[in-house]
Amino acid sequence: MFEIDEHAPRITSPTMHIPRFMLLIVAVVTMLAACTASETSEFKAEGISPPIPMAASVELQDTVAEAIGAPPPDTGLAEIDFSDPVAAGEIVAERNACSACHSIDGTKLVGPSWLGLFGRTEAMTDGSSLVVDEAYIAESIRNPSLKIVAGYDNAMTPYDFLSDDEINALVEYIKTIQ
């Protein structure tokens, strides 16, 4: 059925053994690296993307739209009603994805859990300790690298783009998580 031409070039040659050998080495090293990763290794926050600020305020969007003669965009984000600061704080937390790093059920994530946080005494990485109050929470939102809770890395980026109303509402929300 098939005829073998003895004069045709060989598919395998001594030069083909080197790339195959290199491929084998790469495969073995990759498998060893994957197998030696510890299941109990602690999460390191290096490389975490900084937060992306929310879209401009509705007032700013309306002003720009009016200036260029266009209808205002429908972002799906309603203005936050700060008359109920706890509800407003929950919205601020949701819109800024705070739960990606802070749990409300005591689970340890990248940052401290908010469960029972307010009023608790926390040890800091510098050896000091403090009672978590409104001022500390607000300061930690605006400039989180000033005081870092022991057992956590300096992973949080500043949320200094939040308004005072948003930060105060977030503090009020955190106070209720007991």
- pLDDT given at position 46: 46
64, two tokens: 């720009």
Q: Within a 10 A sphere around the Cβ of 173, how many other Cβ atoms? A: 22
Q: Is the pTM of this model over 0.75?
A: no
- pLDDT given at position 76: 57
166, two tokens: 């948003």
Q: How far apart are CA 172 and CA 79, in angstroms?
A: 18
31, two tokens: 């498998």
What are the Cα distances from residue 39, in Å, to 6, 100, 143? 55, 21, 32
Q: What are the structural domain ranges in the chain? A: 81-176
Q: 78: pLDDT confidence band, cut at 50, 70 and 90?
A: confident
143, two tokens: 């400039």
The string of pLDDT tens digits covering residues 117-175 is 999 999 999 999 999 999 999 999 999 999 999 999 999 999 999 999 999 999 999 99
159, two tokens: 């949320």
Q: CATH assignment of 81-176? A: 1.10.760.10
